[in-house]
C-alpha cells in the first residue's frame, strides 16, 4: 500500500490544469473550514439560548416554590395545634370469647 502512495503527482500533465486543481482544492478546503466554523457558532448559540431558557425556568420555579413555602409557614403559624377527638376500641389479634351471650 505504501508503494502506491510513494509516487504522488498531479493527475494531468498540463501545468495550467495542475494549477487549477490546486486552486480548486484550496478553495474547497477553505470553504469547508469556514462552513465548519459557522456551523459551530450556530450550534453553540442554540445551546447557549437553550441553557439560558432552562436556567430561567429553574430560577422561576424555585422562586415560586419558596414563596409557597413561606406562605404555608405563615398560615400554619396561626393553626399550630389541632386537636382531633374520637373514640377507639382495641381489637386483640388473639380471638377471645365474648362474655356477652349471642342472641
Tell me the pLDDT tens digit for each residue of 41-73: 999 999 999 999 999 999 999 999 988 888 877
CA distances to 50, 90, 98 from 95, in Å: 66, 12, 9
* Mean confidence (pLDDT) of the chain: 82
Residue 53, CB-side half-sphere exposure with 13 Å CA sphere: 6
Q: Return the residue matching grid coordinates 470553504.
A: 31
Q: Give the pLDDT band (50/70/90) at residue 17.
A: confident
d(CA 20, CA 14): 10
pTM score: 0.49
Q: Give the pLDDT band (50/70/90) at residue 29.
A: very high
- Quick check: 18 and 10 in contact, CB under 8 A? yes
Stronger pLDDT, 10 or 54, i.e. the higher one: 54
Neighbouring CB atoms inside 10 A of 68's CB total 10
Amino acid at each position: 500500500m505504501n508503494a502506491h502512495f510513494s509516487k504522488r503527482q498531479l493527475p494531468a500533465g498540463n501545468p495550467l490544469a495542475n494549477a487549477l486543481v490546486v486552486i480548486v482544492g484550496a478553495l474547497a478546503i477553505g470553504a469547508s473550514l469556514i462552513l465548519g466554523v459557522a456551523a459551530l457558532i450556530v450550534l453553540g448559540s442554540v445551546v447557549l439560548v437553550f441553557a439560558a431558557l432552562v436556567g430561567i425556568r429553574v430560577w422561576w420555579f424555585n422562586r415560586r416554590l419558596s414563596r409557597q413555602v413561606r406562605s404555608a409557614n405563615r398560615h400554619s403559624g396561626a393553626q399550630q395545634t389541632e386537636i382531633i377527638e374520637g373514640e377507639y376500641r382495641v381489637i386483640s389479634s388473639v380471638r377471645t370469647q365474648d362474655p356477652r351471650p349471642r342472641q
